[in-house]
Amino acid sequence: MAKEYDVVVIGTGPGGYVAAIRASQLGLKTAVIEKRDLGGVCLNIGCIPTKALLKSAETLEKISHAAEFGLEVGEAKVNFPNVIKRSRGVADKMSKGVQFLMKANKIDVVRGKGLLAGNGEVKVVDDSNKETDRLKAEHIIIATGARSRELPSLKFDNETVINSERAMKLEKQPKKLVIAGAGAIGVEFAYFYHTIGTEVTIIELQKYIVPAEDEDVSKELAKIYKKKGMNIMTESSVEKVTKKGNGVEVIVKTKKGEEKIEADMVLSAVGVVGNVEGIGLEEAGVKVERGSIVVKPNTYETDAKGVYAIGDVIGGPWLAHKASHEAVECVERIAGLDPIPVNHKNIPGCTYCHPEIASVGLTEKAAKEAGYEVKVGKFPFQASGKASAAGANDGFVKVVFDAKYGEWLGCHMIGENVTEMIASPVLARDLETTGHEVIASIHPHPTLSEAVMEAVAEAYGEGVHLGTPPKK
């Protein structure tokens, strides 16, 4: 006989566990189903452990530049197994934190894989596909997340071609690494491995690396990465990977023809795809398009009554904070509340390479293509006193405004700690703040964050620190 609940959540990533907690807070009897570690990809094999790896690389880089700060230190050496061990320790700690939250909120945790069984029931099976439990609920939330996309030319084998999960758990540091795909995942691992001494080649199909970002940001990161010594090949693709000795031979298609690169392995970072297979979606009448579950705006209900979906499994942007906000809105509507809808046009994106990248809203190119006449302002960290004091002059803040009505269309940053700065433009855009209001609001000096105000002032011809003539 099925155990009865008000809400059953399949998956415990940043969407699933947040949905469960909010449901419990609202007095709904709740259970979660999870086949792996609590916390999902983000906490266990994504956002959190990669940031731990990147921090190790950043620390090594800062030590190597200690003399620039008047400090004398010995040579720093990389203990690769210990770097990996620290990363896994951070992830394990966060996963245990989710376990604590489940217990504190009186949420039942059911281990196994959840499959929709019809009539409001979810069947739970083990690795051998044997049914171990059955749950029934008026509301079922699918939060199964996403996984690395696998291309025909880049089949994962954990040796010659690896995915991001394998890349953060390697037993031995590769001497040469080819990274296919220069989105957020690709450039983060490129920074990590290059900084600790691996020879890195980045291959990107598009014209620019981090192609989703503003072109000025993409060009800036490429310039910095090339200066660091990374090999970047854009408008190129990996056609074939062949095992050769203890490593691989990679055939790369470029505008000039084919090139051969020898490496220890290839990291495929060409995007993600939703986990929609094998959970009973088709049988339940849940519609799937292009690998993502189709849901109704704001309610997140699928075509199957009482079945909802949130997070990566409903499509991009594939971000933890998007999933968490969708979770809260979905559950609050289930509970009969009237929450503020998630503004899907104002979701910030962060890339934790070094320098960091953060952005929200339209790029300059996208704004112009949408028909806006724009005002654009840019403030380089070279002109920032705080950045100079910190030895972090790379990058800039760029803002895009609608020239007619003053709407803040987009904000794009590359530089030290900019992922900590993007929240203020997100809030300002939600509040429909104008450029003149930003200029008039006092930003503390010296800080990196005042570069946002300076960039806005430049857009309106009121900047005072770059010597730019006023705009007429």
| 3-class DSSP state of 317 | coil
CB distance 113 to 125 below 8 Å: yes
184 is in an annotated binding site: yes
Is 323 marked as binding a ligand?
no
Task: Assess whether 445 carries a catalytic annotation.
Answer: yes
Distance CA 212, CA 364 (A): 12
Q: Say which residue the tokens 């400090």 belong to.
A: 71
Given a contact cutoff of 8 angstroms between Cβ atoms, the answer to whether 271 and 186 are in contact is no
CB 389 within 8 A of CB 382: no
Rounded distance, CA 354 to CA 224, Å?
A: 9
- According to the annotation, is 306 in a ligand binding site? no
Q: Please identify which of the residues 65, 344, 436, 445 carries the catalytic annotation.
A: 445
d(CA 334, CA 310): 13
**SS3 call for 252:** strand
Would you say 182 is a known binding-site residue?
Answer: yes
Cα gap 312→83, rounded to integer Å: 29
Q: Distance between CA atoms of 210 and 352, rounded to whole angstroms?
A: 12
- Which stretches does DSSP call E strand in 11-162? 30-34, 108-111, 113-118, 121-125, 131-142, 146-148, 161-162
* 114 assigned to a ligand binding site: yes
Encoded tokens for 355 = 């320098």
DSSP H/E element including 2: none
Please enumerate, as own/partner, the contacts of 338-343 that have beta carbons within 8 Å and a separation of 24 or more: 341/298, 342/298, 343/430
Residue 185 in marked binding region: yes
Would you say 204 is a known binding-site residue?
A: yes
Is 183 a known ligand-binding residue? yes
Omega before residue 339 within 30° of 0, cis: no
Q: Are 349 and 360 in contact (CB under 8 A)?
A: yes
Q: Which amino acid makes up residue 140?
A: I
Count helices and strands (H / E) in the chain. 14, 24
Residue 264 counted as an annotated binding residue: no
Estimate the crossing angle of helix 80-104 against helix 47-64, to 10 degrees: 140
Residues linked to residue 374 through DSSP beta bridges, in sequence order: 402
Residues in Cβ contact with 55 at an 8 Å cutoff, skipping those fewer than 6 apart: none
Runs of H (alpha helix) within 391-446: 423-430, 435-440
Catalytic positions: 445
Known binding residues for FAD are: 51, 114, 312
Known binding residues are: 51, 114, 181-188, 204, 271, 312
Known binding residues for NAD(+) are: 181-188, 204, 271
